[in-house]
Amino acid sequence: MCGVTGFFRRAGGLAPGAREELTEMTSSLAHRGPDAAGEWLDHEAGIALGHRRLSILELSAAGSQPMASHAGRYVLATNGEIYNHLEIRESLARDGGEPAWRGHSDTESLLAAFDRWGTEAALRKTVGMFALALWDRQEEVLTLARDRLGEKPLYYGEQGGVLLFGSELKSLRAHPAFRGEVDRDQLSAYLHRGYVPAPQSIYRGIRKLPPGCLVQFARNRAPGPLPEPRAYWSLGEIAASGLRNPFDGSDAEAVDRLEAVLSRAVASQSVADVPLGAFLSGGIDSSTIVALMQAQSSRPVRSFAIGFHEDAFNEAPHARAVAAHLGTEHTEMIVTPQDAMSVIPRLPRLYDEPFGDSSAIPTFLVAELARRHVTVSLSGDGGDELFGGYTRYGRGHRLWRQLRRIPRALRPALAPGFGRHYSRFVATGSAQELYDAVMLDPAAAGIVLGVDGKPAGASIGLNAGLAATDFYQAMMLADGTTYLPDDILVKVDRASMGVSLESRVPMLDHRVVELAWQMPLRMKLRNGEGKWLLKQLLSRYVPAVLHDRPKKGFGMPVGQWIRGGMREWAESLLGAERLKQEGFLDVPRVRAHWSRHLEGRTRSGEGIWRVLMFQAWLAETGVA
Amino acid sequence: MSAQPDSLAPAIALFLPSLAGGGAERVFVELANEFAARGLRVDLVLASAEGPYLADVSSAVRIVDFKAPRILRALPKLVHYLRAERPAAMLSGLDHANVVAVLARRLAGSGTRCVISMRSVPTEVYRRANSGGSRLLLQFMKIVYPFADAIIANSHAVARDLSRLLRLSVDEIHVIHNPLNLARIESESRAPLSHDWFSDGAPPVILGVGSLAPLKDFETLIRAFAIVRQGRACRLVILGEGPDRKRLEAVGRGIGVANHVLMPGFVPNPFAWMRRARVFVSSSVTEGFPNALLQGLALGLPIVSTDSVGGSAELLENGRWGALVPVGRPAAMAAAIGHCLDAGPNPAARGRAAEFSHERVANRFLEVLLPWENPA
């Protein structure tokens, strides 16, 4: 696990001082890779690659990056893990493309694969999580690529004639050519959704590479728009193919299949030359991962949980019960509101893009706890998107089934009868509109100055064909392509990297994802409850009494804190004078929202929390 | 792990006159917080948003304040609220609020499922109150309550009384006991309490908890305490506030124990007092469901309770988990207190208390409030 950065001056080569610029960019990512730093430049070609390393496998210098391929054609800087890199070496040997290995790092395996099969074909053979920058000296082409589900981040964009790229925005900001102009449309999208959706970022002209994509830049091209990324793997296609060719076995066979595929993913991700553990909340997903880890291990697996004094948020007793049942070596920490609040000032620097999901706080705390004992931790994320866990899926599904029977033209007339909140769902004309109504905060409309209503980026593309027949899985798919990579996985990556911990997500092994999409709806939704299949699997290891309970969010009572202990902090960020000077937000609207929140007249603090996280980010990064 | 609220979640309104300290208010706040933590959209609708529990309301719960000084004045506002918001279900508590809730739902025609909850034995309460207003309310209840979609009583005793009053079968009334937030009680009870009555070697403290009102009959407790004191050094603390304060203080002075009785009023953390007390006494004439007694039980405190009309005997399973004494009999109560002081703590009773965990109780409430959300 590491950090990647660099820049490419596509015409004219590198200027003197390029090395210093690269060092600045690379050292901004020191937290992602505290163990070593590496730089590689080709002044004539105009390319500079930087790397920070957190050593997990191949702890020797034979794993140093940027690394050149044996033939010398490629230079590679990666962040992540290729779990099947030994299998790749075996294929290379069979294929006659095996070099004399210098060490056993996955970077070396990947380079040989690129050498042998070419970029795109090699990427298709990987199993893993990664973001990478690959320089092809022969063709003078830079390739940026990202893993299939979007576990590892990659930002890029052209600024002042230089292509900048990096694992986090802070590395791009460290380059002198960087201009940080806030993209107001994206700011509005952020306030609607709680995160800035790919392929855009909060900065105009800086993009996120979408999951499963690569983008290539050739030297000496005439200036023009940036080339578009292309997909080497697409969740949408995987879903479509799975739905066309569904698994047709019995219930028991389905559980067997999932057990086999997920066990293999857990096994391949449990390999490390450093201590390894897992996050355990006691919920379905993390309990399943830990159960499968323990089933494969002769020694107790290390598991980590945090708890809270507030009962409504405290999952620690559930985690403890599951840990005791499975016999893990369990570490628990009960955190006070003060502990949790002390994380808040660190969030803007950690995320360096506005991020409004308050569960970033517990995720950071549990990563911090785990890092005291291990260097790698497995997490159960992805289960809700793959196996249909969110309550909104079932409710949306039922509502859409009813709504479809009502002629579209009649819906607006009927809507008011459903009350102030629900009427906006009933008034929707299409599945897409309904999904947007469910996912987007209506209070965010019109709050960004210069953006009228809902900006284009605020709508979350739903597969229309799938939505027409299966709204449940259409929502899952849309979440899998946006909410999962842009919110959940961003949170897991930044929280763990913030404490130099490598997180791994076995559910997102693409073979698990492919199997999940072959499973028909009845394997996900049954008896009105989601995640049926996953619960069946877990029940083979943990009795239902320990995991069958109402699903709870893992949000934090940030709404309460900003009314209480953090009120001064919030007030200073939301001061009318300050807002006016910054000029991004509609001052009276923000102030009115804040007043309503202080009086308890809002149902959640999420809306005002998003505004606060933007304000704190603005203060931290100092752009205007 | 997700902080994203489910905007499609059904809305539940919990309607009460206010959050002025009391058992019903505490229960409603805990239910509201638990429902919200499960992702439901929760409004705590108050005729008047005031009272000490306001600070405990989760920020995921919206507070709707009608600013109505009298509950009847809240009726038109509740009608308007129901028409505008159309919550899936509304749970009301306390008699006046129940009557207003049922009427408002009829007037609003909103399709909201209207569930009322009863927390005390109505005929007993109104027989004792015996004023024109109370008799009128009782008549109102008889007429109005059958229009509720469901009725929840917090003990079998309350359910039996209601079924007689409303001529309903007792099976039509759901019995759901009060929730107990065991972790919170345990952790709050460990908070420091600096009162020299609890210093090392101080005489044991006997504890009563409840509003200083005639139904709680603290006079009998004070008289029983005076008898216990004849045999041994001990002290009495009564936590709570109410109209009877002056009279109770006079009783204490009259029998010469005033210096050994402390009535600090409403305290925010009664659990710290309970942990340090040696016997918990409930002297009530009637109890719908004795919250404080259950809390004492959860902390392993020996219990003495009157065999009152209502839920105390039910909770103690006819004496299995604590001593039962007749109502209004100081001598019998004194004997039981003396016995408890000799016997010491009652750790087995914690298991009984665990049957009332707030998770289990919240599940039961949701089964009644949103039956279609709980197909099982």
pLDDT digits (tens, 9 = 90+) for A192-206: 999 999 999 999 999
Q: Decide: A271 and A104 in contact? Cβ < 8 Å.
A: no
Is A554 part of the contact surface with chain B (CB cutoff 8 Å)? yes
Indicate whether B44 and B158 sit together in one domain.
Answer: yes
Partner-chain contact A359 B1, CB within 8 Å: yes
Alpha-carbon distance B243 to nearest alpha carbon in chain A (angstroms): 31
pLDDT over threshold 80, residue A93: yes
Q: What is the DSSP letter of B259?
A: G
Pairing, β B235-239 against β B261-265: parallel
Query: What integer is the mean pLDDT of A262-287?
Result: 94
State the pLDDT confidence band at B376, using cuts at 50, 70 and 90: very low
Pairing, β B173-175 against β B150-153: parallel
- Cβ-based contacts of A553 with chain B (< 8 Å): 2-5, 37, 39
State the pLDDT confidence band at A624, using cuts at 50, 70 and 90: very low
Question: Is residue B3 a part of any domain in this protein?
Answer: no
Question: Is residue B374 a part of any domain in this protein?
Answer: no
Partner-chain contact B59 A563, CB within 8 Å: yes
Q: Which amino acid is at B218?
A: F
Alpha-carbon distance B7 to nearest alpha carbon in chain A (angstroms): 6
Q: What is the pLDDT of residue A318?
A: 86
pLDDT over threshold 60, residue B375: no
Pairing, β A276-279 against β A302-308: parallel
Is B190 part of the contact surface with chain A (CB cutoff 8 Å)? no
Q: Exposed, middle or buried by CB within 10 Å (0-12, 13-18, 19+), for A457?
A: buried
Query: Which is it for the CA torsion A25, A209, A497, A267, positive or negative?
Result: negative
The two tokens of residue A200 are: 């855009």
Q: What is the pLDDT of residue B168?
A: 85
**Which residues 586-605 of A have a C-beta within 8 angstroms of B?**
597, 599-605
Q: What is the pLDDT of residue A269?
A: 96
Between the CA of residue A152 and those of A11, A132, A367, A484, what are the distances in Å?
A: 29, 9, 16, 12
pLDDT over threshold 80, residue A222: no
Indicate whether B57 and B167 sit together in one domain.
Answer: yes
Partner-chain contact A601 B58, CB within 8 Å: no
Q: Which amino acid is at B75?
A: L
Question: Is residue B1 a part of any domain in this protein?
Answer: no
Indicate whether B191 and B330 sit together in one domain.
Answer: yes
pLDDT over threshold 50, residue A350: yes
Q: Exposed, middle or buried by CB within 10 Å (0-12, 13-18, 19+), for A450?
A: exposed
- Cβ-based contacts of A422 with chain B (< 8 Å): 11, 86
Q: What is the pLDDT of residue A142?
A: 97
Nearest residue on chain A to B56, alpha-carbon basis: A560
pLDDT over threshold 80, residue A513: yes
Indicate whether B128 and B196 sit together in one domain.
Answer: no
Query: What integer is the mean pLDDT of B233-252?
Result: 95
Partner-chain contact A281 B11, CB within 8 Å: no
Domain count, chain B: 2
- What is the C-alpha separation between A41 and B357, in angstroms, rounded? 64
Between the CA of residue B25 and those of A536, B22, B36, B145, B252, what are the distances in Å?
A: 40, 5, 16, 21, 30
Nearest residue on chain A to B366, alpha-carbon basis: A550
| Strands (E) located in chain B | 11-16, 41-46, 61-65, 89-93, 113-118, 150-153, 173-175, 205-209, 235-239, 261-265, 279-282, 286-287, 303-306, 309-310, 323-325
**Which residues 315-374 of A have a C-beta within 8 angstroms of B?**
317, 357-359, 362-363
The two tokens of residue A576 are: 């009318």
Q: Is A2 among the residues known to form the active site?
A: yes
Between the CA of residue B304 and those of A9, A23, B112, B257, B280, what are the distances in Å?
A: 84, 75, 42, 20, 6
Is A498 part of the contact surface with chain B (CB cutoff 8 Å)? no
Query: Which is it for the CA torsion A486, A487, A492, A498, positive or negative?
Result: positive
Question: Is residue B349 a part of any domain in this protein?
Answer: yes
Q: What is the DSSP code string of A497-508?
A: HHTT-EEE-GGG
Partner-chain contact A560 B187, CB within 8 Å: no
**A419 → closest Cβ in B64, B84, B375:** B84
Indicate whether B289 and B333 sit together in one domain.
Answer: yes
Output the average pLDDT for chain B.
Answer: 88
- What is the C-alpha separation between A21 and A331, in angstroms, rounded? 42
Q: What is the pLDDT of residue B4?
A: 61
Share of chain B above pLDDT 90, in %: 53
Between the CA of residue A612 and those of A348, B1, B131, what are the distances in Å?
A: 10, 21, 55
Q: What is the pLDDT of residue A311?
A: 62
State the pLDDT confidence band at A33, using cuts at 50, 70 and 90: confident
Query: What integer is the mean pLDDT of B97-126?
Result: 88
pLDDT tens-digit series, residues A102-144? 998 999 999 999 999 999 999 999 999 999 999 999 999 999 9
Lowest mean per-residue pLDDT among A400-414, A488-502, B202-216, B309-323: B309-323
State the pLDDT confidence band at B1, using cuts at 50, 70 and 90: very low
Query: What integer is the mean pLDDT of B108-130?
Result: 82
Indicate whether B211 and B269 sit together in one domain.
Answer: yes
Is B4 part of the contact surface with chain A (CB cutoff 8 Å)? yes
Q: Exposed, middle or buried by CB within 10 Å (0-12, 13-18, 19+), for A120?
A: middle
pLDDT over threshold 80, residue A235: yes
Nearest residue on chain A to B360, alpha-carbon basis: A549
Question: Is residue B57 a part of any domain in this protein?
Answer: yes
Q: Pick left, alpha or beta for residue B20 (phi over 0 → left; psi -120 to 50 → alpha; otherwise beta).
A: beta
Alpha-carbon distance A589 to nearest alpha carbon in chain B (angstroms): 19
Lowest mean per-residue pLDDT among A26-35, A50-59, A425-434, B6-15: A50-59
Q: What number of other Cβ atoms are within 10 A of residue A252's Cβ?
A: 9
Indicate whether B68 and B140 sit together in one domain.
Answer: yes
Partner-chain contact A419 B58, CB within 8 Å: no
SS3 A6: strand
Q: What is the pLDDT of residue B98?
A: 93
Query: What integer is the mean pLDDT of B150-176?
Result: 88
Helix (H) or strand (E) holding A305: strand A302-308
SS3 B280: strand
Indicate whether B186 and B309 sit together in one domain.
Answer: yes
Phi/psi for B48 (5° steps) reads -150, 115
Q: Tell me the CATH number at B286.
A: 3.40.50.2000
pLDDT tens-digit series, residues A417-426? 888 888 899 9
Indicate whether B155 and B204 sit together in one domain.
Answer: no
Partner-chain contact B60 A381, CB within 8 Å: no
First and final C-alpha spacing in chain B: 25
State the pLDDT confidence band at B178, using cuts at 50, 70 and 90: confident
Indicate whether B189 and B125 sit together in one domain.
Answer: no
Torsion on CA atoms A367, A370, A371, A373, rounded to nearest 10: 180
Highest mean pLDDT among A237-251, A428-442, A456-470, B290-304: A237-251
Phi/psi for A116 (5° steps) reads -80, -45
Q: Decide: B151 and B324 in contact? Cβ < 8 Å.
A: no
Partner-chain contact A560 B86, CB within 8 Å: no
Indicate whether B225 and B154 sit together in one domain.
Answer: no
Query: What integer is the mean pLDDT of B69-82?
Result: 92
Report the residue count for chain B: 376
Question: Is residue B375 a part of any domain in this protein?
Answer: no
Question: Is residue B280 a part of any domain in this protein?
Answer: yes
Indicate whether B209 and B348 sit together in one domain.
Answer: yes
Q: Which amino acid is at B40?
A: L
Query: What integer is the mean pLDDT of A22-44?
Result: 92
- Cβ-based contacts of B39 with chain A (< 8 Å): 391, 551-553
Q: Decide: A152 and A131 in contact? Cβ < 8 Å.
A: yes
pLDDT over threshold 80, residue A224: no
Partner-chain contact A438 B42, CB within 8 Å: no
Domain extent at residue B171: 12-179+357-369
Alpha-carbon distance B84 to nearest alpha carbon in chain A (angstroms): 5
Q: What number of other Cβ atoms are within 10 A of residue A37's Cβ?
A: 18
The two tokens of residue B317 are: 């399973």
State the pLDDT confidence band at A1, using cuts at 50, 70 and 90: low
Phi/psi for A129 (5° steps) reads -130, 130
SS3 A302: strand
- Cβ-based contacts of B42 with chain A (< 8 Å): 603
Q: What is the pLDDT of residue A505?
A: 98
Share of chain B above pLDDT 70, in %: 97
Question: Residues with Cβ < 8 Å from A207, sequence gap 6 or more?
Answer: A155, A156, A157, A198, A199, A200, A201, A226
Question: Is residue B253 a part of any domain in this protein?
Answer: yes
The reported pTM is 0.84
Between the CA of residue A432 and those of A207, A459, B62, B215, what are the distances in Å?
A: 25, 8, 29, 59
Q: What is the pLDDT of residue A555?
A: 64
- Cβ-based contacts of A555 with chain B (< 8 Å): 2-5, 60
Q: What is the largest CA-CA distance in chain B?
A: 64
Q: What is the pLDDT of residue B374?
A: 60
pLDDT over threshold 60, residue B2: no
Q: What is the pLDDT of residue A362?
A: 92
Q: What is the DSSP letter of A204?
A: T
**A194 → closest Cβ in B4, B36, B59:** B4
| Strands (E) located in A469-552 | 502-504
Q: What is the pLDDT of residue B230?
A: 94
State the pLDDT confidence band at B200, using cuts at 50, 70 and 90: confident
pLDDT over threshold 70, residue A553: no
